Amino acid sequence: MNKKISKQQFKHLLAYLLVYKIQIFGALLAALLGGIAAVLGTYYTGRGIDQIIGEGQVHFAQLTKVLGIMIGLYLVVIVTQLLVQYFANKISYQAIRDLRIDAFEKVNQLPLAFFDGQSKGDLISRFTNDLDSISDAINVTMNSLFSGIVIVVASLGYMLYLSPLLTMVVLTTTPIIFVIAFIVAKFSQKHFTGQQKVVGEISGYVSEMVGNQKIVKAFGYEAAMLAAFNQKNQRLYTWGQKAQFTSSITNPSARFVDHLAYLFIGVIGGLLVLSGQITVGVVSSFVIYSAQFSKPFIELSGITTQIQTAFAGLSRILTIMRTPPEEPNSPTAITLSNCRGEVVFKQVAFAYEADKPLIQDFNLTVSPGETVAIVGQTGAGKTTLVNLLMRFYELNSGHIYIDGKKSTDYTRDSLRRAFGMVLQDTWLYSGTIADNIAYGKPGVTREEIVHVAKEAYADSFIRKLPKGYETIIGEKGVSLSAGQRQLLTIARAMLADAPMLILDEATSSVDTLTEQRIQDGFLSMMTGKTSFVIAHRLSTIKEADLILVMEQGRVVETGKHEALLEKNGFYAKLYQAQFE
């Protein structure tokens, strides 16, 4: 793993942790008291052993006093360990909560192009699996680190006080533990990064397959789906096995080195006792001090897996945080208000990929209140025009003018609020039907909601639901058909009453009879509004003021329905293919 990247990751995470300075101070104070108590407890353990000289030679008065002190010290150790754990939990959960909020806010600032290249399940995995792994790693690391620092320093001081020679034995073996941990971490980090990436891929795949079970079963895709899942799962097994195996070497290797230190202490300490330089109690204390001194390092080596998983997850979250946001509004941007609905495309050019131009030199003038229908084969660029109009993507060249000003002269929020949208892909959130209809216009009355529902021919099916307009829909609520969901989005657009409309296959999921009924509601809603209608059913756009026929990003024909049929061109062929 690149050191520079690791340092940047650590600094980024540290910024979230340092917000909670009071909790960190509390944890350090508790760790300080607990560490000193633990070290003193070890010192008095040796003192207690020295009170037991031999058979019939036990200083019970002194031994009782020492035992009383030890009980008090270890009670302090227990209480302070609980406090350290409490503060560590609080810091880790609050810091990750803040990081999750900031990451989610950043997602809302990212351009649409970012999501085009991302799996929905993979993004969800970053907000769940990756952030949870970071939180767990912070928790265990703080528990080990805070108490460990104090114990290491204090036990080192007491070891030097008791026997500088034995202290040198411990200090000689400890760096070996560091070397082992560093080498293992260096070679295993790429495996953890790969593991987290595949976890995200599996989350995305499972989300996609579970959400489309009807299609899977309709096409008999179960076996192929299972084979694809097994392939991804095998990749996860391979990455995970390598990651776990390499990281698992650290802890037993560190313990082996630590046990060698015990052996040397026992041999050298025994010789010092025989020569009368130290007592048996000192050697006993020293063995415990040695364990206390190396314990934090061994614990950290034991949680190497969690730390590396956390850094791999942090890297994936920081990918989101470091992605350039949507281009900010111009400092002089104004709010689009009292929109008349005049739209002009002037020499517009756009491509999703630089080497694959889609729209070139596109020009169009739409007067206020006009209805423009856009037709063409799949991939002709119809929806792209809408995306450009809404500034979901920025133009490569040219300009779009709204009411005489460039669309970039307006704030994005006010520009997008000027459009009411009904898309082919319906989106409803978990909540009541009434709340979903009122999504674009909070604070409306129930009468207004019911009125637009009737206009969209949704009222009849809504009233048949268990709780009518208060029926909960979504993952934990009532399941609606595709047509019913589309009727609700139509009602939502009607209620928003925006000065301009975008209807992208707005009735693709409803039956023909309902579609004919909704046309009256649409005509009423579109009266006086500039409307852009994308439709494959050409019968729905006969009354449009202007029909644009697109092919490969270019407008190949324009005119009204009857005039285009008389031309007997591309539009006429499309129409004949549907109705003749």
Q: How many angstroms separate the first and last alpha carbons of the chain?
A: 64
Mean pLDDT of 175-197: 69
Mean pLDDT of 204-223: 69
Q: Is the pLDDT of residue 246 over 50?
A: yes
- Cα separation, 127 vs 134, in Å, equals 11
Mean pLDDT of 187-195: 70
Predicted local distance difference test score (pLDDT) of residue 79:
92
Mean pLDDT of 10-35: 88
Domains 3-322 and 340-418+537-580 share a fold: no
pTM higher than 0.85, yes or no? no
**239 — pLDDT class (breaks 50, 70, 90):** confident
Identify the weakest region by mean pLDDT among 51-60, 269-278, 312-321, 324-333.
51-60
Over residues 386-445, the pLDDT tens digits come to 888 888 888 889 999 999 999 999 998 889 888 888 877 777 878 889 988 888 777 888
User: 265 versus 110: which is more confidently predicted?
Assistant: 110
Predicted local distance difference test score (pLDDT) of residue 5:
47
Instruction: Give CATH for domain 3-322.
Output: 1.20.1560.10
Q: What is the 8-class DSSP label of residue 18?
A: G
Mean pLDDT of 244-268: 71
Instruction: Give CATH for domain 340-418+537-580.
Output: 3.40.50.300
- Taking alpha carbons only, the member of 305, 231, 312, 259 closest to residue 5 is 312
Over residues 444-485, the pLDDT tens digits come to 889 999 988 888 888 888 998 888 999 888 767 788 887 788
Which helix or strand (DSSP H or E) is residue 345 part of? Answer: strand 343-350
Residue ranges per domain, the chain? 3-322, 340-418+537-580
Asked if residues 31 and 84 have their Cβ atoms less than 8 Å apart, the reply is yes
Predicted local distance difference test score (pLDDT) of residue 537:
63
Over residues 484-529, the pLDDT tens digits come to 888 888 888 888 888 898 888 766 666 676 667 667 667 777 778 8
Dihedrals φ, ψ of 453, to 5°?
-65, -40
Mean pLDDT of 238-262: 71
Q: What is the 8-class DSSP label of residue 334?
A: B
Rounded to the nearest integer, the mean pLDDT of the chain is: 80
Predicted local distance difference test score (pLDDT) of residue 75:
92
CA geometry: angle at 545 spanning 542 and 549, to 5°? 70
Asked if residues 465 and 387 have their Cβ atoms less than 8 Å apart, the reply is no
Q: Is the pLDDT of residue 43 over 80?
A: no
What DSSP letter does each residue of 356-425 carry, written as one string? Answer: B--EEEEEEEE-TT-EEEEEESTTSSHHHHHHHHTTSS--SEEEEEETTEEGGGB-HHHHHHTEEEE-SS
Mean pLDDT of 68-72: 86
Q: Is the pLDDT of residue 1 over 50?
A: no
To the nearest whole percent, how much of the chain has pLDDT over 90? 5
CA 54, distance to chain mean position in Å, is: 65
To the nearest whole percent, how much of the chain has pLDDT over 70? 84
The residues pairing with 555 across neighbouring beta strands, listed in sequence order, are 550
Predicted local distance difference test score (pLDDT) of residue 450:
92
- Taking alpha carbons only, the member of 486, 491, 490, 446 closest to residue 469 is 446
Over residues 276-319, the pLDDT tens digits come to 777 777 777 777 777 777 777 767 666 766 777 788 788 888 88
Over residues 330-353, the pLDDT tens digits come to 888 899 888 898 999 998 888 887
What DSSP letter does each residue of 23-70 carry, written as one string? Answer: HHHHHHHHHHHHHHHHHHHHHHHHHHHHTEEETTEE-HHHHHHHHHHH
Over residues 112-163, the pLDDT tens digits come to 778 777 777 778 888 888 888 888 888 888 877 777 777 777 777 777 877 7
Torsion 65-71-74-80 (CA) sign: negative
Predicted local distance difference test score (pLDDT) of residue 400:
92
